[in-house]
Structure 1
Amino acid sequence: MVTVVNYESRTNKAGKEFNVLILQGGIEPVRSTITGKFYFSSRTCDVPASFDEMTCKNLIGTEFPGSIKRVPCEPYDFNIPNTEEYVNISHTWEYQDSIDEIVSEHIVETAAII
């Protein structure tokens, strides 16, 4: 399940404003690569929406099926919030509905077929 936790207004390259919904997945334990200790986190992503601001505001708190998955992308530099530190990242987070999850788990790559 994912939950709409917020929304933002953005402007595209053509100068047109649109809204995105900020989605958050469930809580999950993560082991620190530095200390080896566990902490809890949740994945977030944003998804463009065709809704007006009032509708986006009313959707906050809405839950629906799906999850947020890590997807490879071209490497980019990311500024860690509230610091001057940058890290190079080669993935992004995307919403995946339940149907996409089932299909991706059962797809056999052509190279695997003999």
Structure 2
Amino acid sequence: MVQITGYKVFEKENGDLFFSLIVQGGVEAVVSKQTGKTYLTARTARVSCTFDEAMCKSLVGTSLPGTISKIEVEPYEFTIQETGEIIQRTHRYEYMSDEDAVLTKNLHREEVL
């Protein structure tokens, strides 16, 4: 299960607004690469939606079936909001329904030989 914890407003080039919901998974323990110590965190992801701001506000606190998965991507720069530090990442987090998570886990892409 994931929980909707907020929403974010974006403006298109033409001035129209659109929204995405911020979803957060459960608590998980992670070992720091720098210190080797364990800390607790929760994965978050943004999910595009067709809702207006009033609907987005009303959905905060709602639980949805699914998980937030770590997806490998091409390297990109990421700014840590708390410190302003710019780091390079090779993953992003994506919301997946329970059905999508099962398919992703059990199906493998065909490799080119």
TM (norm. structure 2) is 0.89
C-alpha distance in 2, partners of 1:59/1:74? Answer: 32
Once the two structures are TM-superposed, the CA of residue 7 in structure 1 deviates from its matched residue by: 0.7
Q: Render the CA deviation track for 1:13-72: whole Å, top value 9, x for unaligned.
A: 443210110000000001111221111000001111111111110100000110011112
2:69 — aligned with what?
Answer: 69
Unaligned runs of 5+ in 1: none
Matched, 1:49 2:49: yes
Matched, 1:17 2:17: yes
Unaligned runs of 5+ in 2: none
Runs of 4+ in 1 over 3 A off after TM superposition: 108-111
C-alpha distance in 2, partners of 1:65/1:11? Answer: 29
1:89 — aligned with what?
Answer: 89
1:28 — aligned with what?
Answer: 28
TM (norm. structure 1) is 0.88
C-alpha distance in 2, partners of 1:62/1:3? Answer: 6
C-alpha distance in 1, partners of 2:91/2:40? Answer: 20
Aligned in 2, Cα 1:87/1:108: closer, same or farther, shift over 3 Å?
A: closer
User: Greater CA deviation, 37-46 or 82-91?
Assistant: 82-91
